[in-house]
Structure 1
């Protein structure tokens, strides 16, 4: 029975359920920040935990997830925690087709829906560019670099039109083949400690900007 229930939990709502309940029962803080994403967000707390610990930020990344999964769990893992800011980093696993083929429109529709949900609940949004990737080790020969650039252009334009803070990890980390260089990543997709230090510096500026608004 337990295995059947787990198989049906496609968005993995169970992963953070207990911790979400714990946080909801604690006194709310007006300056809490939730990071919503996939493995790049989840592994940040493992590779460079001091960033989240120092600032008391909440990590809601789940490895392998695509934007439809994140959209389903957005209420439970973000809105219910009543943060002042949500940092959204999503889309690379859609391009990798982790849950099946996805067009750029499908990806952006899900990301924009998350943003609209956040805004409806007075949560400020920081939208992040997808990190560069020349190839995916778990699903090779997909030629993701061009798709990532196209997705990022759509995200930048949306952020600009809707006055949303945009964090451009891509430009700060991309190499000459439009991938993620070894200095920032061992596998070309997931950042190492140096990569996360670059990301922390950029997103921290955006969080401070939104904290003073």
Structure 2
């Protein structure tokens, strides 16, 4: 039923009234919100901050990791929280509360806090919020947070919509705020609150277009090597071109592709050395990072017979991206490769299985992407190959004997890759 103009105005007024009526939520303003508590820890182990300070150094998976949280001061004694971490892939300090209905805050609401960066030269930060059962969203803050080191307290405010994707359930949020650290660092936060209306001073990517918006990989653990690797690859391409060397085979992807060169160089040479291959895999890359590299010269000046592309698992792992958005990113990468290498045959691989069991959430997400990928193959210039069954037991489980971390192949896994792909590669090379 179509609503009249007056009805639309009434509903809009009611929505605005509901937002105005929503009270500010002081998640941690001098003390936690009533009924809430402060938690801290690493990826696997978190514990409450019961006293003035706490230390987490008992994670059996990270024997050298240390995460420390403390009550510190900004305007009054104990009105702020401090987080120090080192040798921890991930650290966090968060507010955990009774279920909060944040739906009235979504239209114009903000989450804000004061931040003091004491040390972050080798670290990075992100702000995270739960968005329903087994759902969380985060916004990265690496380069700006590093730039804030030593500059005292700064006020940060994000639109609540930065943490909301279509279909997310904000009706009963129990983890409304977390500050996550990577690498190593020391920071303090205070005055954490959610307001029904505010003026954000921080930006966030549009989740609907992130996978197709080219950008470098600016994570705390990638900044030191990612761009230098890109420059090295450009230099290698220039050297080959000057020497008149052909490059008949190119691999493009993330860490799974990167590890051919980094972890299995002898196998890489034995299997593909005759093609004078070029490995353009970068650990951590998502579709948008590949797109940036393609647009900045990484396949210019070469004319390979075949390019192998596999990308997308980090779109799932990093931001739990919807399958259709990951597909859009892969489609955009395929189009860019075709534009720059019109004579090259492109072999598009299904995203490899991850997680031990078939119902692993991230594997399920990737398989939904894989089901869409055949649409990109015309079997003239673009060819699709799904060889995932070669990695799996008959019941669909993935063995750590093949992928020890249930994501990256070991030597045996790379041998399986080569055996499963070689017949198709032989046909395309001819």
Q: TM-score, normalised by structure 2?
A: 0.42
Q: Measure the CA separation in 2 of the matches of 1:33 and 1:73.
A: 17
- Structure 2 equivalent of residue 58 of structure 1: 278
Q: Distance in 2 between matches of 1:185 and 1:159?
A: 28
Distance 1:108 1:162, change over 3 A: farther
Equivalent of 1:158 in 356, 376, 399: 376
CA contact (8 A) 1:51 1:200 kept: no
CA distance in 1, matches of 2:236, 2:247: 18
The structure where helix makes up a greater share of residues is 1
Task: Measure, in 2, the Cα distance between the counterparts of 1:102 and 1:108.
Answer: 10
**Partners of 2:245 and 2:424 in 1: CA distance:** 19
Which of 45, 49, 71 in structure 1 is aligned with 2:291?
A: 71
Judging by fraction of residues, say which structure has more strand.
Answer: 2
SS in structure 1 of the partner of residue 251 of structure 2 = strand
Q: How far off its partner does 1:18 sit? A: 2.5
Q: Distance in 1 between matches of 2:423 and 2:408?
A: 22
Give the structure 2 partner of residue 19 of structure 1.
233
Q: Is 1:133–1:178's contact at 8 Å kept on the other side of the alignment?
A: no
How far the C-alpha of 1:80 sits from its partner, in A, is 4.2
Query: Is this contact kept in 1: 2:286–2:311, CA < 8 A?
Result: yes
Aligned residue for 1:15, secondary structure, equals helix
Change (3 A) 1:63 1:177: farther
Please give the residue correspondences for 1:69-108 in structure 2 after superposition, counting only pairs within 5 Å. Answer: 69-75=289-295, 76-96=297-317, 98=318, 100-108=319-327
Cα 1:28–1:112 shift into 2, 3 Å: farther
Note the C-alpha offset of 1:73. Answer: 0.7
Alpha-carbon distance in structure 2 between the residues aligned to 1:166 and 1:29: 28
Q: Structure 2 vs 1, CA of residues 134 and 19 (structure 1 numbering), >3 Å: closer, same or farther?
A: closer
Larger Rg: 2
Q: Which has the higher contact order (CA 8 A, sep 6+)?
A: 1
Q: Which of 166, 185, 198 is equivalent to 2:403? A: 185
After superposition, the Cα gap between the structure-2 partners of 1:179 and 1:71, relative to the gap in structure 1 and judged at 3 Å, is farther
Note the alpha carbon deviations across 1:148-175, whole angstroms, 9 max, x for none. 2111111134326776322223121123
Residue 335 (structure 2) pairs with residue 116 (structure 1): yes
Whether the 8 Å contact between 1:66 and 1:93 is mirrored in structure 2 is yes
Q: 3-state DSSP class of the match of 1:130? A: coil
Paired residues in the alignment total: 202
The 1:106/1:162 distance shift into structure 2, 3 A limit, reads: farther
4+ aligned runs moved over 6 Å, structure 1: none
Consecutive unaligned residues in structure 2, runs of 5 or more? 1-121, 123-141, 145-214, 218-225
Deviation at 1:133, TM superposition (A): 1.2
2:69: which partner in 1? none
Distance in 2 (CA, whole Å) between partners of 1:93 and 1:23 is 26
Structure 1, gaps ≥5 residues long: 136-140
Does 2:355 match 1:134?
Answer: yes
Q: 1:174 and 1:148, CA in 2 relative to 1: closer, same or farther beyond 3 A? A: farther
Closer/same/farther in 2, CA of residues 152 and 18 from structure 1, 3 Å limit: same
Which residue number in structure 1 is paired with residue 108 of structure 2?
A: none
* TM-score for both structures, normalised by structure 1: 0.81
Q: CA separation in 2, counterparts of 1:31 and 1:59?
A: 11
Structure 2 partner of 1:138: none
| Cα pair 1:182 1:188 within 8 Å, conserved | yes
Q: 1:195 to 1:174 in 2, by over 3 A?
A: same
How far did 1:146 drift? 1.4
